[in-house]
């Protein structure tokens, strides 16, 4: 007997934003095969389970997958030729492994258990629908689709011939330095056609890769099991120089070469596997590893199946309101991110994807412009200037140049990821422009752009975390101790300090020569406006213009326009938007249907546009009334992505990114970006750049548009 069980402790308290979180179990004969899943987002897990089983029954797929990301577990389903389903539990933490031997269950029993679990959960959560109404409606529709399907036996097709691939672990004698070195070989066996079950529409990417085999060394050592998972773990460990097979330490370059050959073998077997996210992630990791080691990367382009290139349509009119628009995919490229995810920076010439340890830049046509990798951090600006740190050196790269302009000794501190090139105010500095970047959570550092000399370093005492921004040539550093420092970019001298009793929780926002600063601890918040640059003897730098205390939890970053300031946050379980006047007085407060933890604000035409990480959005007019409201578009993203207005079209990031007419709130286009989207950016031509896990940059261009142009 199998059973999916959902915890009930959440029923004793009001669920937080995003729905209830509790334990989730998959019991087979009373034994839970999902260890540690004690705090999972139940709406997403139950919905993922319904989708995975529906893929087996309704869509005719052989593979299904449910991700429990908090505990790094993947519940994988594999349907055999009959009505039998093989269940595997995979742990993707380091090292990746199969938690227990595969289990066999009957498909009708699996469907019955899934339906029973989903119905029970919907019944229990009925009284807490509130903020998750849209997600529950979507779950009900998917459950209805599953319950209305008829379970049919798979069509008896001719079974594919068993496939195998072998790579020798012996290095060629002609290889440089082959003497005494250890190579990595593999033996792959696919007897039931797993590798052929993947296509570009398949959602479950891991089950087709759970084929048998082993990894081998030249001395006969073997690592049996699931070779793809083993190679994933070796590639991760190789970055730290600790890859081992059977107790033998393997050189990182041999691990990377073996990983690339494994990807090549899979893509030769099924070209569609080149788009599998797990195969892509392994190939990118191995390619970047060889690049960091300055080893030649094997040419695997012969196995690449390139999709047909779409032709961009007519560009949007520069004036007028857009009334209709379609989006077409332009190009897609794998990027190197590391384990921390990434962000998109749009400069004048490049689209840059950066993470704390890597930066990868592309031209607007999709060609690679440059790439920087560093073990101790990479700081980069939108123009492409980058500072890369190693344990002993810090290097500066200008634009797409492959040669460092200068390098200096370094103490191993981690710079970035942001970088600002600041021209000193007033008299020119003898060192020219100053490159300013955060230094981890310790402080801020300034380098001379021309020579690389460290001009200054500012590290506030007793600081655990800080915020970093700038107003003109003044660097603003806020600390968790509640102090805002104004540091001169030319010499690093502290020109002013503003002390408060609450921590600075958001980056200071520039308002001409002034700065808006938000403080918060628990439900106590405050916001003040201060002069960042002096305007004569009457208004010295650091002078407070106004201060306002507020009852808000998790306050958003404030925005300013036309003399008004807006800030949002939580209060008594509600999300509140507050508008402040020129002197900091509260003009009005408005309850809005968004998540207070992930608010994004954007001023527009005297009012403000508000959205959250679920894709819910609203426009609030200057008097506090809501002109239109959009509901959430799916599961919550990992972080809030800022709103953008381009060509008088509002881009609302979310699981389904929507292009909206700011006036009226009419949806012009939708783009399914998924809950695993890491970042999204839009340029002036309304080209949309989407960064997805595990590391793929995709672009979409307007394919057709209708605009009303005023005469």
Per-residue pLDDT tens for 511-558?
989 999 999 998 899 999 999 987 655 568 888 999 999 999 999 999
Q: Is the pLDDT of residue 240 over 80?
A: no
More confident residue, 639 or 497: 497
- Residue ending a domain, among 286, 303, 320, is 303
Tokens of 543: 């002078």
Query: Which among 283, 415, 302, 365 is positioned nearest to 696, based on CA atoms?
Result: 283
Q: How large is the average pLDDT for residues 258-273?
A: 89
**pLDDT, position 380:** 93
In a domain, 526, yes or no: no
Residues 8 and 143 in one domain: yes
- Quick check: helix, strand or coil at residue 444? strand
Distance, CA of 332 to CA of 440 (rounded, Å): 32
Q: Is the pLDDT of residue 563 over 80?
A: yes
Q: 529, 584 in Cβ contact below 8 A?
A: yes
Q: Is the pLDDT of residue 204 over 90?
A: no
**pLDDT class of 174 with cuts at 50, 70, 90:** very low
- Tracing tokens 């052989």 back to the chain, one arrives at 62
- Tracing tokens 């106004």 back to the chain, one arrives at 546
Q: 119, 143 in Cβ contact below 8 A?
A: yes
Highest mean pLDDT among 33-47, 118-132, 550-564 belongs to 550-564
The pLDDT tens digits of the residues spanning 218-228 come to 777 788 889 99
Distance, CA of 362 to CA of 351 (rounded, Å): 5
**pLDDT class of 17 with cuts at 50, 70, 90:** low
Averaged pLDDT score across all residues of the chain = 84
**pLDDT, position 132:** 75
Residues 7 and 142 in one domain: yes
**pLDDT, position 705:** 61
- Give the start-end residues of each E strand in 129-272: 163-167, 184-190, 212-217, 222-225, 244-245, 248-249
**pLDDT, position 510:** 93
Distance, CA of 473 to CA of 533 (rounded, Å): 9
Distances (CA, A) of 2 to 55, 87, 239: 19, 11, 41
Segment (H or E) for 283: helix 277-292
More confident residue, 56 or 174: 56
Residues 140 and 168 in one domain: no
The pLDDT tens digits of the residues spanning 291-348 come to 777 666 665 554 444 444 444 444 555 545 666 788 899 999 988 765 567 899 998 8
Residues 177 and 131 in one domain: no
Tokens of 442: 């310790």
In a domain, 559, yes or no: no
Residues 126 and 241 in one domain: no
- Residue ending a domain, among 248, 272, 303, is 303
**pLDDT, position 339:** 53
- Tracing tokens 């809030």 back to the chain, one arrives at 640
The pLDDT tens digits of the residues spanning 457-486 come to 999 988 888 999 999 889 999 999 999 999
Query: Which among 124, 140, 24 is positioned nearest to 75, based on CA atoms?
Result: 24
Residues 194 and 77 in one domain: no
- Quick check: helix, strand or coil at residue 625? coil
Q: How large is the average pLDDT for residues 489-495?
A: 90
**pLDDT class of 353 with cuts at 50, 70, 90:** very high
Q: 625, 662 in Cβ contact below 8 A?
A: no
Q: 702, 315 in Cβ contact below 8 A?
A: yes
Q: How large is the average pLDDT for residues 387-415?
A: 88
Tokens of 428: 């020119």
Distance, CA of 604 to CA of 53 (rounded, Å): 44
- Beta-carbon neighbour count of residue 585 at 10 Å? 10
Distance, CA of 526 to CA of 614 (rounded, Å): 27
Distance, CA of 255 to CA of 394 (rounded, Å): 28
In a domain, 183, yes or no: yes
CA dihedral 311, 314, 315, 321 (to 10 degrees): -140
Distance, CA of 2 to CA of 115 (rounded, Å): 12
Q: Is the pLDDT of residue 155 over 60?
A: no
Query: Which among 278, 245, 263 is positioned nearest to 167, based on CA atoms?
Result: 263
The pLDDT tens digits of the residues spanning 87-104 come to 999 998 888 889 888 888
Q: How large is the average pLDDT for residues 413-433?
A: 75
Q: Give the chain's length.
A: 711
Rounded percentage of the chain residues whose pLDDT exceeds 70: 88
Q: Is the pLDDT of residue 180 over 50?
A: no
Residues 141 and 183 in one domain: no
Phi, psi of 397 (to 5 degrees): -115, 135
Q: 508, 531 in Cβ contact below 8 A?
A: no
Q: 614, 573 in Cβ contact below 8 A?
A: no
Q: Is the pLDDT of residue 617 over 90?
A: yes
Residues 210 and 136 in one domain: no
Q: How large is the average pLDDT for residues 5-34?
A: 80
244: exposed, middle or buried (C-beta count within 10 Å: 0-12, 13-18, 19+)?
A: middle
Q: If you ran DSSP here, which 8-state letter would residue 194 be given?
A: G
Residues 139 and 93 in one domain: yes
Tokens of 37: 């899943």
- Quick check: helix, strand or coil at residue 279? helix
Residues 267 and 299 in one domain: yes
In a domain, 8, yes or no: yes
**pLDDT, position 177:** 46
Number of domains in the chain: 2
Q: Is the pLDDT of residue 426 over 60?
A: no
**DSSP states of 343-409 as a string?**
EEEE-SSEEEEEETTEEEEEETTS-EEEEEE-TT-EEE-TTS-EEEE-SSEEEEE-TT-SS-SEEEE
**HSE value, Cβ hemisphere, 13 Å, CA-based, for 463:** 24
In a domain, 396, yes or no: no
- Quick check: helix, strand or coil at residue 608? strand
Q: Is the pLDDT of residue 676 over 60?
A: yes
In this structure, is the dihedral angle defined by the CA atoms of residues 457, 461, 464 and 470, taken in order, positive or negative? negative
**pLDDT, position 374:** 86
In a domain, 531, yes or no: no
Q: Is the pLDDT of residue 609 over 80?
A: yes
∠ CA 557-562-566, rounded to 5°: 25
Distance, CA of 702 to CA of 323 (rounded, Å): 13
Rounded percentage of the chain residues whose pLDDT exceeds 90: 32
Structural domain boundaries, residue 58:
2-147
**pLDDT, position 20:** 83
In a domain, 434, yes or no: no
Residues 100 and 234 in one domain: no
Highest mean pLDDT among 41-50, 172-181, 280-289 belongs to 41-50
Segment (H or E) for 697: strand 696-708
Q: How large is the average pLDDT for residues 412-418?
A: 85
The pTM is what?
0.57
Query: Which among 580, 591, 632, 623 is positioned nearest to 605, based on CA atoms?
Result: 623
> How many Å separate Cα 549 from the centre of its chain?
34
Query: Which of 69-73, 131-135, 540-544 is predicted with the least confidence, judged by mean pLDDT?
Result: 131-135
In a domain, 102, yes or no: yes
Q: If you ran DSSP here, which 8-state letter would residue 15 be given?
A: -
- Residue ending a domain, among 303, 322, 353, is 303
More confident residue, 37 or 580: 580
Query: Which among 507, 509, 469, 506 is positioned nearest to 489, based on CA atoms?
Result: 469
Distance, CA of 283 to CA of 303 (rounded, Å): 13
The DSSP bridge partners found for residue 313 are: none
**pLDDT, position 309:** 43
Q: How large is the average pLDDT for residues 434-456?
A: 90
Q: Are strands 350-355 and 343-346 parallel, antiparallel or unpaired?
A: antiparallel
Q: 611, 657 in Cβ contact below 8 A?
A: no
**pLDDT class of 192 with cuts at 50, 70, 90:** confident
Query: Which of 114-123, 271-280, 377-386, 477-486 is predicted with the least confidence, judged by mean pLDDT?
Result: 271-280
Query: Which among 644, 647, 655, 658 is positioned nearest to 344, based on CA atoms?
Result: 644
Residues 19 and 43 in one domain: yes
């Amino acid at each position: 007997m199998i059973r999916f069980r959902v915890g009930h402790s959440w029923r004793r308290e009001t669920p937080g934003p995003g729905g209830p979180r509790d334990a989730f179990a998959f019991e087979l004969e009373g034994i839970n095969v999902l260890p540690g899943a004690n705090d999972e987002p139940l709406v997403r897990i139950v919905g993922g389970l319904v989708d995975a089983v529906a893929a087996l029954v309704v869509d005719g797929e052989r593979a299904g997958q449910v991700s429990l990301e908090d505990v790094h577990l993947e519940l994988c389903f594999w349907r055999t030729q009959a009505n039998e389903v093989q269940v595997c539990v995979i742990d993707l933490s380091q090292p990746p492994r199969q938690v227990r031997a595969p289990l066999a269950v009957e498909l009708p029993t699996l469907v019955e258990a899934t339906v029973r679990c989903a119905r029970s959960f919907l019944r229990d959560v009925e009284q807490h629908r509130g903020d998750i109404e849209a997600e529950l409606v979507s779950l009900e529709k998917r459950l209805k689709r599953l319950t209305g399907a008829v379970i049919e036996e798979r069509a008896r097709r001719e079974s594919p011939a068993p496939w195998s691939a072998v790579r020798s672990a012996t290095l060629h004698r002609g290889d440089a330095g082959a003497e005494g070195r250890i190579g990595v070989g593999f033996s792959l066996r696919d007897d039931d056609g797993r590798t052929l079950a993947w296509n570009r529409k398949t959602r479950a990417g891991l089950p087709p890769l759970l084929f048998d085999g082993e990894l081998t060394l030249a001395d006969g050592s073997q690592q049996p099991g699931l070779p793809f998972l083993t190679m994933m773990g070796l590639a991760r460990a190789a970055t730290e120089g600790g890859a081992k097979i059977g107790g033998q330490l393997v050189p990182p370059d041999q691990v990377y070469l073996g990983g690339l050959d494994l990807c090549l073998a899979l893509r030769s077997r099924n070209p569609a596997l080149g788009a599998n996210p797990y195969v892509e992630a392994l190939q990118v990791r191995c390619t970047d590893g060889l690049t960091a080691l300055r080893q030649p990367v094997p040419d695997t382009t012969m196995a690449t199946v390139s999709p047909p290139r779409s032709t961009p349509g007519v560009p949007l009119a520069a004036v007028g309101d857009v009334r209709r628009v379609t989006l077409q995919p332009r190009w897609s490229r794998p990027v190197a991110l590391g384990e921390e995810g990434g962000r998109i920076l749009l400069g004048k010439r490049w689209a840059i994807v950066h993470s704390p340890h890597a930066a990868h830049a592309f031209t607007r046509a999709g060609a690679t412009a440059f790439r920087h990798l560093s073990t101790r951090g990479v700081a980069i600006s939108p123009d492409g200037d980058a500072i890369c740190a190693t344990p002993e050196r810090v290097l500066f790269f200008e634009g797409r140049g492959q040669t460092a302009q200068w390098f200096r000794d370094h103490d191993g501190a981690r710079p970035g990821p942001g970088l600002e090139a600041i021209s000193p105010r007033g008299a020119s500095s003898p060192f020219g422009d100053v490159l300013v970047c955060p230094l981890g959570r310790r402080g801020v550092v300034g380098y001379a752009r021309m020579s690389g000399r460290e001009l200054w370093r500012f590290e506030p005492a007793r600081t655990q975390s800080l915020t970093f921004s700038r107003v003109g040539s003044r660097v603003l550093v806020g600390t968790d101790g509640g102090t805002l420092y104004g540091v001169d970019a030319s010499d690093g001298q502290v020109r002013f300090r503003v002390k408060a009793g609450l921590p600075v929780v958001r980056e200071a926002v520039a308002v001409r020569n002034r700065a808006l600063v938000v403080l918060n601890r628990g439900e106590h918040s405050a916001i003040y406006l201060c002069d960042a640059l002096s305007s004569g003897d009457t208004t010295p730098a650091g002078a407070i213009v106004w201060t306002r205390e507020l009852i808000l939890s998790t306050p958003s970053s404030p925005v300013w326009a036309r003399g008004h300031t807006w800030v949002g946050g939580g209060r008594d379980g509600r999300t509140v938007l507050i508008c402040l006047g020129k002197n900091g007085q509260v003009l009005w407060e408005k309850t809005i249907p968004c998540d207070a933890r992930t608010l994004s604000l954007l001023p527009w035409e005297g009012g403000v546009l508000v959205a959250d990480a679920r894709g819910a959005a609203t426009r609030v007019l200057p008097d506090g009334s809501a002109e239109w409201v959009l509901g959430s578009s799916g599961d919550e993203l990992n972080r809030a992505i800022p709103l953008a207005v381009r060509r008088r079209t509002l881009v609302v990031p979310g699981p389904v990114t929507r292009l909206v007419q700011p006036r009226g709130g009419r949806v012009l286009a939708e783009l399914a970006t998924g809950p695993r989207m890491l970042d999204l950016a839009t340029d002036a031509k309304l080209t949309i750049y989407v960064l997805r896990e595990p590391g793929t940059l995709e672009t979409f261009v307007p394919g057709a548009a209708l605009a009303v142009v005023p005469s």
